[in-house]
Chains A and B, each alone.
Chain A
Amino acid sequence: MAEGTVFVETVELAPEPPPSGPVQWIRENLAYSVSSTITTIVIGLVVFFGLRALIAWFLNPFRKWSAATANARLLMVQAYPDDQFIRVWISVGIVVVLAGLSAAAWRVAGKVSVGQVAKGLLSVGSGALVLALLAPGGLTGGRVIFGSVGLVIAGIGYMWKRARKSSVNEPVISTVALAGLALVLIGVFLWTVKLPVQEVFADGSKEVTNQLIARSTKLPWTVQLLVLAVSYLVGVAIRDSISSLRRILVGLWALSFPAILMVVMRAPDIEWDTVLSVDLPIFLAIGALVGVILYVIGAPDAGEWKYIVSAIWLVLAVLWVLFSWYLFDPASSSPFHFTSSAADVLKRLEFKFPLILGALFALAAPSFGGARAARLRYIGVWLGALVLLIMSFRLGAASSLLELSGTAFVGGLSLTFTLAIAAIVLSFPLGVLLALGRASTMPIVRMISTTYIELVRSVPLITWLYIGSNLLNLFLAGVVDIFSVVRAITAMTLFSAAYLAENVRGGLQSIPKGQYEAADAVGMSVVQKTVLITLPQALKAVIPALVGQVISLFKDTSLVSIIGLFDLLYIARNVIPGQSANIGSILELTVVAAAIYWIFTFTFSRSSMRLERRLGLGTR
């Protein structure tokens, strides 16, 4: 430019779109340098041949996938009596209803953009297309159909994205509509899509037939889908009028698990005359007596005597339970000869445990009592807890009405879930107590908690399961013949509590010192400080870690197959391949079991990542 020349822009430039398109994409992501190109080619070849081999293995006519599909029920619930199978569907239904209501109450519905949906379609479609192209073998009809469906789906995604160029990232599509569409599609598939199933008969003959995906369960599944949709709609309708819906749902979720396990699936033989002649009097007497005591003790005036009385009460009640259990067993002449069944023991303890519970309530009464209304509410909580306690004793002592062919009324995947849920639920309070103990200022408590946590964590779970299955019976044989599932749950609970305690401790450490000081400065007691200030903050901070632990506990349940419990893995690995029709199907079944575990853990971990993002954690 010559000196003095002034440059003046006369043309106004319109913004250009960034370079895009498949070639550009490849240039940026697969071949941005020589070495990356070589890597891409080498890895690409490996992936190509690997995938081809995998597909060939899956589609090989010698694969016995039918061993899994024909035994789907065994994998899910082991051997539950046919005439009572409706109980399984009711259990699923309970979960489905709660899920629908919760989805509405927590307002999970949102909006997604066209871009996101189109991207999903594009990747699903192109994935299917790639699989169809990669599969070894000739040009069969199934392959053409599969490939072209993939092509169409991918095409729709691509075109849609292009058509919505400018507004592609605006959230306009309701996820409710998408979910509804998915439900309808699943429903239609259940009734229409047929897959070739090869059945091998005992005499060695084979037959390939086309069968529906869920040939014997299409009706119940359809009902469950409808129930899900309806309960969501109901939830939407009532969520504005019932303000405490979320709290109610949390309570229902908590109750649903024991209710399904103890009542629905187990069909307990409740002796109603005992309930009327024993339980009700116990409830009324202890409930009222302790209620009155709580009313007095909860009154807002000073006096250490309340603590002293409650503490003595607690010690006496504990001693009574321990020693009546140990020494003063009326049924035996010597302390070491017990003839009692689990039911007997539960009956004998039935009204001693409420006394311990009452003492604990009394100890906390000065912290949570107060004005009349607060005290009455506290007494309400006490009565509720008492009902739950007595009910669980009654249900635990009741025998089951079911005639089972196996040893347990849960097996397969439902046992896996039972173990995981029971262990995590039971280990939660223990883990929190251990964490508080380890963070406490009291050296002996701290030492005991630390020893427990470190010892449990350094020894692998399988040894704890052995200890549970051998030692627990040794400790308590004759007193209580502990059922093998309960032994496994006990071992997993004690194990998981130690890990949970470490997670919670992390949360406790993350709370600034100022929080404790502020609570002290306004005069809170230790219990109040813990329940109202520390724990809520600590637990919120460690939610991701806790979810991670739920996931690993879920995976760890597979270890019970080693001690001979009929969980998912045991049935897949030992039971089904042992049937004469399914000999040689063990690899297929292990792969199926792996896939089932994978689906659940993957879903958990993805949802926990979403939860984390929603809580605003993990962002820097």
Chain B
Amino acid sequence: MTTAIQRPTRPPFYRDVTVLKWVFQIVFLIGIVTVFWLLGSFSIANLAKQNLAVSWDFMARPVGFQVAEGFTTLPESGFQALLVGITNMLRVTISGILAATILGVIIGVSRLSHNWLVNKLATVYIETIRNIPLLVQIVFWGIVVSIIPDIVVDETSDGSLKSLFGLRLLPEGWIFASPKGFAMPWLVPTDGRWQWVGFMIVGAVAALYAYRWRIRLQEAGTAEARAFLWSGGVLVAFAIVGTFAHPVMGIFGPVFGFVAAFFQNTPIIIFQIVLAGLAVGGAYYIIKKRLDELRTPAGLGKLTDDDWFRLAMAAVVASGLALFFLLQSGPVKAIVGQGTIFGQEIGLSQLFTGLESRFSFVSGAPFDFSLPAIDGRFNNYAADAGHVITRAYFALWIGVVLYTAAFIGEAVRAGVLAVPKGQTEAGFAVGLRRSQLLRMIVLPQAFRIILPPVGNQYLNLAKNTSLGIAVAYPDIVQVGQTIFNQTGQTIPIVISWMAWYSFVSLTLSAIVNRWNKKLKLVER
């Protein structure tokens, strides 16, 4: 019916909703930038008054302090000291997450138990642990360890630890305890371990295929799956065989060597172009995807100002990155290993050189079983003898594990209770036992509900490891704090902290989100 296309009349700009909206946003942005600019100039001025300028030099320079524990206790540079802090943080985080998950599930299931005693015990546990600040608990465990007397299991006469009903439990010299921590036997990794780990990676892939194969067989109706049993068996077989056969992995040595040489010898401009190309390509992909979503058979749909903003942002960020890569060869050099980061050569080339030397048909066992070698001051005098759990590590670890387990337990309980009652009744009706019901019907369904809060708890655990500073556990916060006490370089340290923790948070939430999506897919 209509003839000429008419557009709505444009109002005067000062009354146009869209214009006003953007004016407001720009003023807001200017305001924020101004505040940051002011704060920045204040701090530079104040630093200047103390004859300090913001500088990252300490990262390359030797530091004058010892770190209490870690892959090295005498870091060569500020950068290495921070790396020690990072690995220490990861050590507690990863082992803590494992232990807290196991304990948390036990607590959560106990909370649902019909057994009054078990149920009450779990409740008391949760209500106690949850309501006391974690820091207090860590401090508490630190004190507890510091007041235990020196115990060398076996030589004491009271026999409280070494035996039960006259039965000797542990051989002589296996476990030591003291105010400084605990020592115990350990599988100490030796030179062959890298090849063995390589072997195990192959094994893991094989196990995955075994799993899929069994599932396929079951779906085809030829055999019962027992998929976990099979894939576990494959893993164990690889682990055992790998103990002897791992030198085979030495064939990868030359491959790594080739890759290292490639990164070392290719002209840097090529990497610059590749990285810039990746940035531009990524932006192109994002913009194209977005436009495709808006595209119609009749042509492009109407773009809102929000759409325009997103597209522009993607373009601006990508071109900024591309320009950065093209103009600054330094960072690119550092990444591929032709240059240095903070005075360290830790690029891709060095990584592969290291791998090459570790995959060089080294023979011998990947691990040595060794007993702790403790002298009178409770120093483990041989670095590769046994394993020492220091007081600080223990206090932090047990603190975060017990604390997080309480929250995980609550999440598990809530998740299980959220599974409809009809599911339980149907399970009983087909004759499952309680434990079977829990394992086969309830937990798989509850898992979907449990995962997001538990993922959140993992994140909290990772962040809470920073409380180790109260018992002088040298994680990145403690090491960083020591560095800025020495150098006064607050701002770089703060930036390092933020970068590291943001990285951890983003990684962990990416993993949890991915998992979550996968579960959602299964659900459909």
Contact = CB atoms under 8 A, between A and B. Distances in A.
B490 interface: yes
Contacts of B42: 326, 474-477, 479
A66 B147 CA distance: 20
B117 A569 contact: no
A463 B501 contact: yes
A569 B494 contact: no
Interface in B128-178: 128, 130-137, 139-140, 143-144, 147
Interface SS, A side? helix
Contact of B463 (A304, A326, A459, A561): A459
Contacts of B491: 471, 474
A445 B28 CA distance: 8
Question: Which bucket holds chain B's interface residue count?
Answer: 35 or more
Interface residues of A, number: 62
A463 B15 contact: no
B51 to A, nearest CB: 14
B484 to A, nearest CB: 7
Contacts of B504: 458
B135 A569 contact: yes
B128 A442 contact: no
B43 A458 contact: no
Interface in A554-611: 555-559, 561-562, 569, 573, 586-587, 590-591, 593-594, 597-598, 601-602, 605
A598 B133 CA distance: 8
A412 to B, nearest CB: 14
A29 B29 CA distance: 63
Contacts of A470: 484, 490, 494
B335 interface: no
Interface stretch (B265-273, B274-282, B464-472): B464-472
Interface stretch (A7-15, A38-46, A114-122): A38-46
A442 B17 CA distance: 12
A217 B469 CA distance: 37
Contacts of B497: 459, 463
Contacts of B46: 336, 474-475, 477-478
A573 B139 contact: yes
A256 to B, nearest CB: 25
A326 B498 CA distance: 28
Contact of B133 (A32, A322, A558): A558
B131 A590 contact: no
A458 B494 contact: no
Contact of A336 (B32, B45, B464): B45
Interface stretch (B19-27, B180-188, B364-372, B443-451): B19-27
A459 B132 contact: no
Given A336-B45, A443-B309, A594 B502 contact: no
A441 B477 contact: no
A342 B24 CA distance: 33
B255 interface: no
B115 interface: yes
Nearest to A584: B147
A39 B494 contact: no
Contact of A597 (B114, B131, B469): B131
B481 interface: yes
A230 interface: no
Interface centre among A326, A474, A590 (most CB of B within 10 A): A474
A476 B494 CA distance: 17
Interface in B1-26: 14-15, 21, 24-26
B127 A602 contact: yes
A193 interface: no
A36 B115 contact: yes
Contacts of B127: 602
A602 B127 CA distance: 8
B71 interface: no
A130 interface: no
B523 interface: no
Interface in B304-329: 305-306, 309-310
Contact of A444 (B25, B494, B505): B25
A39 B116 CA distance: 11
Contacts of A466: 477, 481, 494
A254 interface: no
B118 interface: yes
A315 B27 contact: yes
Nearest to A39: B115
Nearest to B310: A443
A569 B136 contact: yes
Nearest to B308: A443
Contact of A587 (B49, B144, B463, B469): B144
Contacts of B132: 555, 594, 597-598, 601
B501 A441 contact: no
B31 interface: yes
Interface in A534-569: 555-559, 561-562, 569
A32 B305 CA distance: 67
Contacts of B477: 460, 462-463, 466
A29 B114 contact: yes
A281 to B, nearest CB: 30
A504 to B, nearest CB: 17
A583 B34 CA distance: 53
Contacts of A573: 139
A248 interface: no
Contacts of B31: 318
Contact of B135 (A322, A458, A471, A558): A558
Given A29-B114, A308-B14, A598-B128, A459 B136 contact: no
Nearest to B435: A35
B490 A474 contact: yes
Contacts of A44: 117
Interface centre among B46, B136, B494 (most CB of A within 10 A): B136
A558 B470 CA distance: 11
Given A29-B114, A36-B115, A318-B31, A569 B121 contact: no
Contacts of A29: 114-116
Interface in B35-57: 35, 38-39, 42-43, 45-49
B135 A561 contact: yes
A547 to B, nearest CB: 13
Contact of B136 (A36, A47, A444, A594): A594
A243 to B, nearest CB: 39
Interface centre among A460, A586, A594 (most CB of B within 10 A): A460
Contacts of A455: 498, 502
Interface string A254-274: 000000000000000000000
22 contacts: A40-B115, A43-B121, A47-B121, A441-B21, A443-B310, A454-B505, A457-B505, A459-B497, A459-B502, A460-B477, A463-B501, A471-B491, A475-B42, A475-B46, A559-B467, A569-B139, A573-B139, A587-B147, A590-B140, A594-B132, A601-B131, A605-B131
Given A36-B115, A463-B494, 8 more contacts: A32-B114, A308-B14, A461-B463, A475-B42, A559-B467, A561-B470, A587-B140, A605-B130
The 10 closest A-B pairs by CB, nearest first: A458-B505, A29-B116, A460-B463, A336-B45, A601-B131, A555-B133, A444-B25, A558-B133, A460-B466, A443-B309
Interface of B: 14-15, 21, 24-29, 31-32, 34-35, 38-39, 42-43, 45-49, 114-118, 121, 127-128, 130-137, 139-140, 143-144, 147, 305-306, 309-310, 459, 463-464, 466-467, 469-470, 477, 481, 484, 490-491, 494, 497-498, 501-502, 504-506
